[in-house]
A and B are shown apart, each in its own frame.
Chain A
Amino acid sequence: QKEVEQNSGPLSVPEGAIASLNCTYSDRGSQSFFWYRQYSGKSPELIMFIYSNGDKEDGRFTAQLNKASQYVSLLIRDSQPSDSATYLCAVRALYNQGGKLIFGQGTELSVKP
């Protein structure tokens, strides 16, 4: 079982729709969760981070965390063509447990005008 798993996609949504990206993780000791966006040939850029169960909203983006189910998701409302990119889920263990940061394989999102 991979430590962090994402739907590989590609995920295609029409402009203005809600895009839903999902991620599961295997280490119950994980403490922090991140969503990064990566455009082709570029380095990842942070969109959201979440530490506590529940929802966290930032503009058009909402991150959801359910530690009991070991599940984290990202919702993008009013999707725009500029949102077309690969979205990477990342999970970090406690510092005193190594603190390593593990990424999923990424989900490619395509927003059609």
Chain B
Amino acid sequence: DGGITQSPKYLFRKEGQNVTLSCEQNLNHDAMYWYRQDPGQGLRLIYYSQIVNDFQKGDIAEGYSVSREKKESFPLTVTSAQKNPTAFYLCASTKPGATEAFFGQGTRLTVV
């Protein structure tokens, strides 16, 4: 079945550590997105990528980094520079054009 897989579902990070969230899709979609959601809030765009080897910052890119070496994969690294990383992280993908986004199941990151 086609879809978007995020892993892990739950992730715990110690202060000062970098962690990487995985996002893989087999929908053959070109565009991929990372969003952050805090309790009671909407989705805020971190980074997005329209094609392989290219990506753009969203509204809250500070403290995060991404790569897009393969069409299927768009991992997100939460660096130690992100001072308040505890949140629900969602990965999405879309076909070119004006089509809807498909979401993964999300990763809940907690700083301990």
Please provide the chain A residues from 47 to 73 with a CB less than 8 Å away from any CB of chain B in the complex: 49, 51
Q: What B residues does A109 contact at CB under 8 A?
A: none
Number of interface residues of B (CB under 8 A): 27
Please tell me which one of the listed residues A90, A94, A108 contacts residue B101 in the complex, with CB atoms under 8 A apart: A90
Q: What A residues does B104 contact at CB under 8 A?
A: 43
Stretch from A12-20, A75-83, A97-105 that touches the partner: A97-105
Chain A's closest residue to B96 (CB) is: A95
Q: CA A105 – CA B37 in complex, angstroms?
A: 9
Q: Is B48 a contact partner of A103 (Cβ separation < 8 A)?
A: no
Q: Given that A44-B43, A106-B41 are contacting pairs, would A101 and B97 also be in contact in the complex, using a CB cutoff of 8 Å?
A: no
Q: Is B98 a contact partner of A101 (Cβ separation < 8 A)?
A: no
Please tell me which one of the listed residues A94, A101, A108 contacts residue B45 in the complex, with CB atoms under 8 A apart: A101
Report A8 CB to chain B, min CB distance, Å: 9
Q: CA A100 – CA B94 in complex, angstroms?
A: 10
Q: Is B45 a contact partner of A100 (Cβ separation < 8 A)?
A: yes
Q: What A residues does B106 contact at CB under 8 A?
A: 42-43
B110 proximal to A (CB < 8 A): no
Q: Is B48 a contact partner of A100 (Cβ separation < 8 A)?
A: yes
Q: CA A98 – CA B98 in complex, angstroms?
A: 12
Chain A's closest residue to B101 (CB) is: A101
Q: Given that A101-B33, A106-B41 are contacting pairs, would A43 and B98 also be in contact in the complex, using a CB cutoff of 8 Å?
A: no
Q: What A residues does B44 contact at CB under 8 A?
A: 103
Q: CA A34 – CA B33 in complex, angstroms?
A: 16
Q: Given that A43-B90, A43-B105, A51-B98 are contacting pairs, would A99 and B41 also be in contact in the complex, using a CB cutoff of 8 Å?
A: no
Q: What A residues does B103 contact at CB under 8 A?
A: 43-45
Binding site for A on B (CB under 8 A): 31, 33, 35, 40-45, 48, 50, 56, 58, 88, 90, 92, 94, 96-101, 103-106
Binding site for B on A (CB under 8 A): 6, 31-32, 34, 41-46, 49, 51, 88, 90, 92, 94-95, 98-106, 108
